[in-house]
Amino acid sequence: MLPPHVMSVEQAGEQYRTQLFAQCAQGIHDPDTKYGVCGIITAVVCFPIGLICLFTDTEQRCHRCGVRLDK
């Protein structure tokens, strides 16, 4: 049996996950940019002008909680 002051691995992991989601609740998100298929195809076919389409066809989501972020 573990002493009361020592956390198990599961408890430490749960506490870490709770702290990360608390950051998202405060508005401190971990942004992750995804590029759309249409933007990628246009960038390849119409290079270099197609890069404008690539950077227009993006979506930012939080990596932790998955909420869509405004640009």
The pLDDT score that the predictor gives to residue 37 is 93
46 contacts 6 by C-beta, under 8 angstroms:
no
62 contacts 24 by C-beta, under 8 angstroms:
yes
User: Residues 14-68: pLDDT tens digits?
Assistant: 888 888 888 888 888 888 899 999 999 999 999 999 999 999 989 999 888 888 8
Q: Distance (Å, rounded) from C-alpha 59 to C-alpha 70?
A: 9
Question: Domain extents for the chain?
Answer: 30-71
15 contacts 7 by C-beta, under 8 angstroms:
yes
